[in-house]
Amino acid sequence: MREVPATRVGRRHVFFVAGYDPMTVEGHHRIVLREMKRFGTVWRAATRCRDAAPVPTPTGALWRSEAEGQGWHTATTFEILAWDDLARADMQRPVRSHLRGSVRAIIDMVTSGTLLAYFRTSRRYGVFFLFTYLLLLAFWAAAVAVGIGAAQWLAPHLGALAAGLFGVAVALASGLLLMRWPGRRFRLRQSLDLAEFSVDFAHGRHPEVDARVAAFAERLRAVAAEAAREGVDEEGLDEIVIAGHSLGAMHAVSTVAAALDEDPAFGTRVPVRILTLGSTTAKFALHPAGTRLRAAAQRVAAAPQIGWMEVQSRDDIVSFYKVNPVTLDRATFAEPQLAVGDFAQRPLLRHVPVRDMVSAATYRRFFFDVMRRHCQCFLASDIRAPHDFYAYVCGPFAFDVLAAHLHALCAYMAPDGAPLPAALDAGGRLMPVVTMPLPDHAPS
The CA-atom distances, in angstroms, between 354 and each of 37, 180, 256, 333 are 20, 28, 27, 16
* 3-state secondary structure (DSSP) of residue 442: coil
> Over the stretch 391-444, which tens digit does the pLDDT of each residue have?
999 999 999 999 999 999 998 888 888 988 876 676 767 776 555 555 443 333
Q: Which of 79, 80, 75 is nearest to 394 (CA)?
A: 75
Looking at residue 427, its pLDDT comes to 72
Looking at residue 4, its pLDDT comes to 47
Looking at residue 204, its pLDDT comes to 93
If 0-12 CB within 10 Å is exposed, 13-18 middle and 19+ buried, where does residue 318 land? buried
Residue range 330-335: mean pLDDT, rounded: 95
Looking at residue 184, its pLDDT comes to 79
**CA 203, 204, 205: angle at the middle one, nearest 5?**
95
* 3-state secondary structure (DSSP) of residue 381: coil
Sign of the Cα torsion 57, 38, 315, 195 reads negative
| Rounded CA separation 138/133 (Å) | 9
Looking at residue 30, its pLDDT comes to 97
Instruction: Write the DSSP string, 107-160.
Output: HHHHHTTHHHHHHHH-HHHHHHHHHHHHHHHHHHHHHHHHHHHHHHHHHHHH-H
> Of the ranges 148-162, 273-287, 426-440, which one carries the lowest mean pLDDT score?
426-440
Beta-carbon neighbour count of residue 118 at 10 Å? 24
Q: Please give the model's pTM, rounded to 2 decimal places.
A: 0.91
Looking at residue 236, its pLDDT comes to 73
> Over the stretch 188-205, which tens digit does the pLDDT of each residue have?
888 888 889 999 999 999
Looking at residue 444, its pLDDT comes to 30
What are the residues whose beta carbons fall under 8 Å from the beta carbon of 179, sequence distance 6 or more? Answer: 139, 188, 189
Peptide bond into 347 cis (omega under 30): yes
Chain mean pLDDT for the chain: 91
pLDDT band at 253 (very low <50, low <70, confident <90, very high): very high
Phi, psi values for residue 352, rounded to 5°: -135, 110
Looking at residue 208, its pLDDT comes to 97
Sign of the Cα torsion 374, 379, 385, 386 reads positive
8-state DSSP, 239 = E
| Rounded CA separation 406/257 (Å) | 27
Phi, psi values for residue 412, rounded to 5°: -125, 10
The CA-atom distances, in angstroms, between 16 and each of 73, 91, 116, 185, 433 are 22, 21, 32, 26, 34
Beta-carbon neighbour count of residue 70 at 10 Å? 13
Strand pairing report for 46-49 and 272-277 = unpaired
The CA-atom distances, in angstroms, between 421 and each of 45, 70, 339 are 18, 13, 17
**CA 327, 329, 333: angle at the middle one, nearest 5?**
95
| Rounded CA separation 77/65 (Å) | 6
* 3-state secondary structure (DSSP) of residue 13: strand
Percentage with pLDDT > 70 across the chain = 94
- List beta partners, residue 62: 55, 79
| Rounded CA separation 89/69 (Å) | 42
- List beta partners, residue 242: 15, 274
Give strand ranges (E) for 157-270.
239-245
pLDDT band at 187 (very low <50, low <70, confident <90, very high): confident
